[in-house]
A and B are shown apart, each in its own frame.
Chain A
Amino acid sequence: MTLDQKRWVIGGLGFLFLLSLVSVQWLEVSRRRHEESGGRLGASAVSVPDASRQCVDCHSQVSTGIVDHWKGSTHAEKGVACLDCHKAGDKDADMFSHYGKQIATIVTPRDCASCHPSESAEFAVSHHSKAANILASLDNFLAETVEGSRVAFSPHSPTPGKAVNVVNGMAPANSGCQQCHGSVVAFQANDGGVVTMRDLKPDDKGQPTNLDAVGRIVRNESGKPQFSSTSWPNTGIGRINLDGSQGSCAACHSRHDFSARRARQPENCGKCHLGPDHPQKEIYDESKHGVAFRDLIGQMNLDAKPWVVGKDYSAAPTCATCHMSANMRNGMKITHDPGERISWTNRPPVSLVMDTDANHAVVTETDPEKRRAAIADTADAKRNRMKQVCSTCHTPDHINLFYRQYDDVVINYNEKFAKPGQAIMAALTDNGLLTKTQYDEQIEWTWYYLWHHEGRRARMGASMMAPDYTQWHGMFEVAERFYMKLIPEARAVTAAAARGGKAQGARAADATIDEILRRPEHQWLLKGAEAQADAIQQEMQRKYGQGRR
Chain B
Amino acid sequence: MSTREEWIAERVPVSLQAVATMSNEPVPYHLKRWWFALGGTPAYLFTIQIITGILLAFYYQPSPTTAYESIRYITDEAAFGWYLRGLHKWGATLMIAAVVLHQMRVFFTGSYRRPRELNWMIGMTLLVCTLMLGFTGYSLVFEQLSYWGATVAANISDTVPVIGPLMKQGLLGGEIYNDRTLSRFFILHAAVLPVLLILVLVMHISLVRLLGVTELKFEGEEAQPARHFNFFPSHFYTELIIGLTLMILLSALATLLPVGMGPRANPLVTPDVIKPEWFFYVAFRWLKLFTGLTAVLTQGLIIFVMFFWPFIDDWLVRKFKYADISVWIGIVGALTIMGFTMWEALVAH
Contacts and interface: CB of A to CB of B under 8 A. Distances in A.
B283 to A, nearest CB: 14
A21 B253 CA distance: 13
B100 A4 contact: no
Contact of A3 (B93, B100, B109, B278): B109
A17 B334 contact: yes
Interface in B222-272: 257-258, 260-263, 272
A47 to B, nearest CB: 11
Nearest to A39: B263
A539 interface: no
A503 interface: no
B246 to A, nearest CB: 13
A25 interface: yes
A291 interface: no
Contacts of A32: 260, 262
Given A3-B216, A24-B342, A28-B345, A10 B104 contact: yes
Contact of B104 (A17, A23, A43): A17
A23 B101 contact: no
B260 A43 contact: yes
B35 A7 contact: yes
B316 to A, nearest CB: 15
For chain B, the bracket of interface size reads: 20 to 34
Contacts, number: 79
B24 to A, nearest CB: 26
Interface in B91-149: 93, 97, 100-101, 104-105, 108-109
A20 B341 CA distance: 8
Contact of B35 (A4, A10, A43): A10
A14 B102 CA distance: 9
Most buried by A among B105, B217, B331: B105
Nearest to B346: A27
A20 B342 contact: yes
Most buried by B among A20, A25, A29, A298: A20
Interface string B69-87: 0000000000000000000
A18 B281 CA distance: 15
Contacts of B104: 10, 13-14, 17
Interface residues of A, number: 29
B315 to A, nearest CB: 19
A23 B343 CA distance: 11
Contact of A9 (B218, B272, B327, B342): B327
B258 A45 contact: yes
B338 A20 contact: yes
A24 B281 contact: yes
A231 B14 CA distance: 89
Contacts of B219: 2-4
A298 B104 CA distance: 40
B324 interface: yes
B163 interface: no
Contacts of B35: 7, 10-11, 14
B28 to A, nearest CB: 12
Most buried by A among B104, B217, B338: B338
B335 interface: yes
Given A10-B108, A10-B109, A25 B101 contact: no
Interface string B307-349: 0000000000000000110010001001100100110011000
B263 A35 contact: yes
Interface of B: 35, 93, 97, 100-101, 104-105, 108-109, 216-219, 257-258, 260-263, 272, 278, 281, 323-324, 327, 331, 334-335, 338, 341-342, 345-346
12 contacts: A2-B219, A11-B35, A13-B104, A13-B334, A14-B101, A16-B334, A21-B93, A25-B257, A27-B346, A28-B345, A35-B263, A45-B258
Given A24-B278, A24-B341, 4 more contacts: A9-B327, A10-B105, A10-B108, A17-B97
